[in-house]
Each structure stands twice: as structure tokens, then as C-alpha cells.
Chain A
């Protein structure tokens, strides 16, 4: 135990002694403690909270005196050559929409429009499945541009993946993110048959959506999207159709958007702030992030009210947060980018994730020559949250993981206050939900 304290001390010393290893918060159920190490959540007597507040630099001794100091769950050692468990295929680096903020620059990632060929999709799925063993679960995601531009390849490659995975005893699942304008009923039948997670990009009600997500000709896409999505909403059994809302300073109407899409029958609705856009259009600033946080909390409180009434209210952000907090998820990375996950470009390049397609800073080899181990392992060493500043000092470091690599490398970390504010609310909501509705956490799935 003494060694653990010394290690923690040295880390604090490296960070000028200001590393925050816990968060105290209160609800109507009393005082609570979130411990960064292991993402542990406790209810505590007021005396423990007082002792921690007045501990100065001696908080580790206080934690130890109450039996709250445990060995560090995450060390400085980065992941090395982890198995590939998920890929995304940019099967169509082109798009029929001209969204103002698109990271893929209207689908082409700043280059020539192109579509993926069969050999590339085939090779990517082989990369995913070659080293998978019986009992493993792998994921194939279809992205673009607009992936349904290349519908034939989507279907053929999914069926190829199923045919290859089945005899190996590997469970393969599929997801697709689409603007919805090209969906057909036949697509719905295919997605339902194979249990796809279908994410529809929708940015609000008609007027807002149309202003942010027009066709390249300038006309709005809202009516067309909903007309094409509606049959899928009715069909979903194995398939899950969710709405993803990209939040910009121009569509800060979260509660209304959430209620509208939930009423339509979407399996879940989630929000994500636009932090980095190639043209810097529509990026969220501190004022708009503050507004967004207030609205996210408003949506969260409505979720809590509905849950107490036994009503389904699939606000994806809070559902995911409650699930991860309950488990005590703690991780040194924000996502699997460059670790268990690669984005595959139309020409067969391997990238840290779908957002880095065409960007050399995230390139990690290609299908022809394989994964570039050195670049990948250097990435994993560099991106470890202990070596991100100011993340290594933040109490939320193992819940957040340091933030989206793509956004951080492009724009830095403008959303830390927003993320901490949201996580603090979610911790409070977790306590309230656990006290009032503990059966929520007994369910195998939160949605």
C-alpha cells in the first residue's frame, strides 16, 4: 500500500501536485465521492467529505484511513499490438448532401470522390476475421460519405463477413451511419435480417435540419429523410434505428429535438457537439457549449422523471453514461481508435478511425502491406491519457479518456468544462437512479 501511495504521489508531483484524484458531490441522498482510480462511486458520511476537503495535499492518506485507497488500476504502460475487433469501411467517399460542418468535406475527405471496390472490402474483412477466434465478437461499420451510394458493396461485404465468421464461431455485428435520403424498404429488410444498428443523422426539426444538412443543390433533406426512414422505424425488431444529432450553435434546441424523435419511434436519440470542422463552420464555442450543457441536463432530468414513472425515454447519452458509471468503466483512451478499431478508406488505407481517412497523421498502414506496427504503437503510447495535458490532472480522466483524438489534434480541448459538467450531472443522476429505481441496472440492456 505504501508503494501505491508513493507512486500516486510522484504522479501528483509531476503535475505540480495538483492532480485531482476524486470528486465530491451531493444529492438529496447525501454526500458522495467519485474516485478517479477505478471510477468508483461511494456514498459517504459528511465527516469523510470534510476530511477530504481539508486534506490539502494529504488526500491519499485520508483515503487510506477510510479504506478507500486501492492499487492503481491504470499504469503508464500503453496498449501494444491489441487485436483488431472493429473496422469501419468508407465504402463511398462521396455524398449527395452538402452538410455545412462535415468532417469528411461532403464525403470526399478533401480529395477525389471515390467508391470502395470489392477487393478492398474483402481484404478489410479478412483482416478483421483472420485473427478472430471462436467466441470473439467483432464489428463492421459502414460509413462514408454516404454509404448507401455503394449499396451493392455494403450488402455483399456484410454477407461475406457472415459467411466467414460463422464457421469460425465468431459473432459479427453490423452498423451503418447514413443520412437516410437513399434508404429503401429493401434496405430495411436487409438491415432487419442481419440485425444492423442503423444511425440516422438528423439535426433537429425540419427548418434547422434543412439549414445544416441540405442536398448539394441547396434544398432541404428533412422531408426526404423522414419519408425514407419511417418504414424502417416500423420494421425494427432485430434492427435498431437511432437518431444522431450533431449539435452546432445553430440548433441548440435539444429537448424539443429529443422529444420529437423519441415520439417518432427511434430506438434511441443521442447528441454530439461539433467541435472540429474542416471549414471551422458551426464549431461550438464556450458560450454555446455552456448552453448545450444546460439543455443536456434538462433532457437528463426529464429522463429521470420518465424513468420513475416507468416510461421509456431513450436519451442515449444518459443511458450510456449511467451504464458505464455503474460498471465503473475506467480506460486510458477515449475510444478504440488505432487500438482495436481501424477506419478503412476506399483505396484500402488503414487509419486510426473513420475521421482520419485521408489524413496522414492518423495513417497506420494499408491492406496491401498490413498494419504499420511502429506507427500504431507510437500512437498508442502518445495518446495514453497519462501523457495528455491537462488530462493527467483531471478527475474525469478515466471516464473521458482524453477526448476524441481527431478533435483534439485539430482543435485542442475546448470542451473540457462541458464534459466535466455533463459527467458530474450523470454521477448525480446515477445516485438518484440507483436509490429510486435500482431495477434499471438489473436490466441486461439499458435501452
Chain B
């Protein structure tokens, strides 16, 4: 009659930890509670894109090989990383300034003493996936622990990203991520608890594609911009518009501890990129 456990009263809803789901998925501790868009860590959707392998969500390392995978793949969990699929390289040279206003230089992957850096999975795999989803692809791996080892290559199935179902004999691609890519709980595993950590760390400095952290921005005649960092405590119209770079020791910026203890006092609404004045309730 009942096919899964359902928390009924309020204390059960607070305390129940569904199998596979970390505390960050609880309503009271999820970052999406305060920052819609972070209901999951999208990077995790790519970890199992190659059947039998588990990749790191933010690097190209192989972190584990499934128990039921082709036994020849077992070796890949010992310091190997994926560097190429078919003819597409997954590591590229990256150039840019090391400091604001500094000269353009190569940005090496210092972690592995490598002149190249791995692409983020979505960028790296989009074109490959559109052409090869559901088929076997040629994958090339290099060992980062022992660079004297020769690269190895395997043919591995590239899983479809979206769920596939058959309706009236017709195979249809569903608008949801395939279950094969993420067992229950895995999409949220790399979110932080408490959510404030992700809020400060990721909302501002990782998921910052639209620069939500850059507020009260004004554009000058030459196209240059000035504005405030939204973690900057002092943000009045009179505050000089100089973006303060992230530094967890800078007392001018909201700290993790302040967010943990009083996020509702530390944060402010930003609407259309501008700080909103605190709303005064009628009658006060």
C-alpha cells in the first residue's frame, strides 16, 4: 500500500534522513532554501558519464571503478586521468593574468605540475555527447602519479545524458537526467552543510557566471565598470565602488561565521543588480 517511507509529522520531517540523501537535502539545511538554483551540484551529473568509471566532479581524475565494470578498467583508479575522447582533447592551455591588471601568462595546473588544465565537464563533453551518446568511444588516460607510464586507451560506452523511455514503441528522450548518471543522493553530495558555506564559496565565486557577486555596478564611458562585492559589509551609496577581492581574513567582507550565526542580518536583497534599502514595515 505504501511503497516508500514517508515522514508524516513535523519532527519526523526534520529528522528523517532518506537513504543516500545527505543533510544538505533537508529543507532546513539546503542552500536552495535561500539560493534557488543550487538544489544540486550540476557537476555531479558528469561523474558516471563513462560506463564503469567514476570521475571527479571538478577534475578529470578517475576516482573509482565500478565493481561490475570491465576488469581491464580496474587499473584506472590508481592515479589515471582522462585526457582525450575520440579526437577531442579534454585539457587545454589556459592564459590570463595572475593578478588584477597583470600580464597575460600561461596558467598551469599547479596541482599536477602540468602546463595544461582540464576543461569543466559541460564544456568538455557537450560536443562529444551530441555525436556519440549511447555509443562506445575511444578514451585516452595518463597517469599523474608516475609520468614514466605510457598513456593507455580503452573503448568505453558514453552514457546518454537524458533518460530514455519507450512510449507506444517509440523511443523518446525525456527532459530529465538519466538515473544511470546519478544514484539517489549523489547529485547533492558535494554541497556543503551548513548551506552558508556553499552560499559564500560557490554562489559568489564558483557559480558566478552572471556575476551575482558584483552589485551596484556602473559602467563608465570607456566600457569599464565599477561596483561593490556583495560580501562587502559597508555598502552605502557613498561607499567607493571598488570591488574587494575574496579574502576570508578581510574584516571588510562577511565571514563564514557571520553567515552561520546571523545570515539573515548579514545578507541583503539585491534586485536588478542593486542593493535594496531595508523595507520598513508600515506603522513603524
Contact = CB atoms under 8 A, between A and B. Distances in A.
Interface of A: 29-32, 35, 38-46, 48, 66-68, 70, 325-328, 330, 430-431, 434
A96 B239 CA distance: 76
B5 A48 contact: yes
A327 B5 contact: no
B29 to A, nearest CB: 14
20 contacts: A29-B1, A38-B11, A38-B15, A41-B9, A41-B12, A42-B7, A42-B16, A44-B2, A44-B6, A46-B1, A66-B5, A67-B16, A67-B18, A68-B16, A325-B9, A326-B9, A326-B10, A327-B11, A431-B8, A434-B8
B270 interface: no
B9 A43 contact: no
Max chain A Cβ within 10 angstroms of own Cβ: one of B9, B12, B18: B9
B3 interface: yes
A75 to B, nearest CB: 16
Contacts of A326: 9-10
A32 B12 CA distance: 12
B19 interface: yes
Interface of B: 1-12, 14-19, 21
For the residues of A in contact with B, the DSSP-based class is: mixed
A43 B6 contact: yes
B5 A40 contact: no
Max chain A Cβ within 10 angstroms of own Cβ: one of B2, B8, B10, B18: B8
Contact of B8 (A42, A46, A48, A66): A42
A45 B12 contact: no
Given A38-B11, A41-B12, A326-B10, A70 B5 contact: no
Contact of A41 (B3, B4, B8): B8
Contact of A70 (B6, B17, B18, B19): B17
Nearest to A431: B8
Max chain B Cβ within 10 angstroms of own Cβ: one of A48, A70, A434: A70
Contacts of B19: 66-67
Contacts, number: 72
For the residues of B in contact with A, the DSSP-based class is: loop
A45 B11 contact: no
Contacts of B17: 67, 70
A30 B1 contact: yes
Nearest to B9: A41
Nearest to B15: A70
A330 B16 CA distance: 16
Nearest to B21: A67
Nearest to A1: B17
B7 to A, nearest CB: 6
Given A40-B7, A67-B18, A67-B19, A30 B12 contact: no
A2 to B, nearest CB: 15
Nearest to B17: A67
A98 B15 CA distance: 50
A328 B11 contact: yes
A35 B2 contact: no
A40 B2 contact: no
Given A29-B1, A43-B8, 6 more contacts: A39-B11, A40-B7, A40-B12, A42-B5, A327-B9, A328-B12
Contacts of A325: 9
Nearest to B1: A30
Contacts of A431: 8
A328 B9 contact: yes
Given A38-B11, A430-B9, A434-B8, A43 B2 contact: yes
A42 B15 CA distance: 11
Contact of B5 (A29, A39, A68): A68
B20 to A, nearest CB: 9
Contacts of B7: 40-42
B201 to A, nearest CB: 26
Contacts of A70: 15-17
A48 B7 CA distance: 14
Contacts of A41: 7-9, 12
Max chain B Cβ within 10 angstroms of own Cβ: one of A44, A66, A327, A328: A328
A40 B1 contact: no
A67 B9 contact: no
Contact of B2 (A30, A39, A67): A30
Contacts of A30: 1-2
Max chain A Cβ within 10 angstroms of own Cβ: one of B4, B11, B18, B21: B11
Q: List 5 A-B pairs, minimum CB-CB distance, nearest first.
A: A328-B11, A40-B12, A30-B1, A70-B15, A30-B2
A39 B15 CA distance: 10
A441 B21 CA distance: 27
Contacts of A48: 5
Given A327-B11, A330-B11, A40 B16 contact: yes
B27 to A, nearest CB: 15
A366 B224 CA distance: 76
Contact of A45 (B4, B14, B15, B18): B4
A164 B239 CA distance: 46
A43 B3 CA distance: 9
A38 B2 contact: no
Contacts of A327: 9-11
B15 A40 contact: yes
B265 to A, nearest CB: 18
A158 to B, nearest CB: 29
